A = this chain, B = another copy of it.
Amino acid sequence: MADRFLRRAGSIPGGAGGIVRRLSARAVLEKQLIKDGDRILIAVSGGKDSTVLAWALSSFRRSLKTGCDLEALHISSDFCACCKKTVLAARLESWGIPFTDLFVPVIGRLKPGRKMNCYWCSTQRRAELLKYAVQGGFNKIALGHHLDDIIETFFMNLCAQGKLLAMPVKLRYRKYPLTLIRPLAYLEERQIIACAEEQGILRGACTCPYGINSQRGDMRKKLADFTGNSGAVKRRILAALSSGKTDLLAE
């Protein structure tokens, strides 16, 4: 099904790029993430995940009957010292995806005495992203989270919060006319890295100067041991999250 869908856009590439195209197409089709006429805002950080996401979505457009609109939003902030925005912008424009940069003073918005942390940064950026999407008449927001992110979040909620809660692949907001989608949900990080290397995307990729937060980093190491880094085990875990009476991958 994914192959037939992709071939409408032309031949499917081999190698790492082909794997990304197929697995993201499968997620899009199985979870009904994208349909004709959607206006999709892709949140791009400059990192490998969201850049590969934009690359994959640019070809989907051609597989749809009437297509969909794609635009990319990058949020700059006051801690992002090295930001290869021009490289990112040029890349996206070459894929036919208009690029906008929005400056949000994440540190500047901290209340006096408060320290910078991942949660603050992500809530500020998420708020601006939603506002921009609503104002721009978008109905979908695409984020670059992948299978390892989803599983880590699930296990962090399980072990640290005592909650059965995953990162949804599809999330309809109640407050806004928006749906969040994560088309890379079936892809492991190593598959995305391989694609990024193959497509020359890693050069010019941005990484957060604060690094991955340590709780997530610890969980990542533990899960690597626990799953033996097996893609099959991870995909079974993902399947389990949709298998109960409540689908933890959809809201």
Contacts and interface: CB of A to CB of B under 8 A. Distances in A.
A248 B240 CA distance: 13
- How many copies of the chain does the oligomer comprise? 2
27 contacts: A157-B240, A158-B236, A158-B237, A159-B236, A159-B237, A161-B240, A162-B235, A162-B237, A162-B239, A163-B240, A163-B243, A163-B244, A164-B164, A164-B240, A164-B243, A164-B244, A164-B248, A165-B244, A222-B225, A222-B226, A225-B225, A225-B226, A226-B226, A244-B244, A244-B246, A244-B248, A246-B246
Interface string A207-251: 000000000000000100111000001011101110111101000
Contacts of A237: 158-159, 162
A160 interface: yes
A23 to B, nearest CB: 17
Instruction: State the majority secondary structure of interface residues on A.
Output: helix
Interface residues of A, number: 25
Contacts of A248: 164, 244
Contacts of A244: 163-165, 244, 246, 248
Contact of A159 (B160, B162, B164, B227): B227
A250 B212 CA distance: 37
Contacts of A233: 159
B164 A241 contact: yes
B225 A161 contact: no
Given A157-B240, A159-B227, A244-B244, 9 more contacts: A158-B237, A159-B236, A159-B237, A160-B236, A161-B236, A162-B237, A163-B240, A164-B241, A164-B244
Contact of A162 (B158, B164, B165, B240): B240
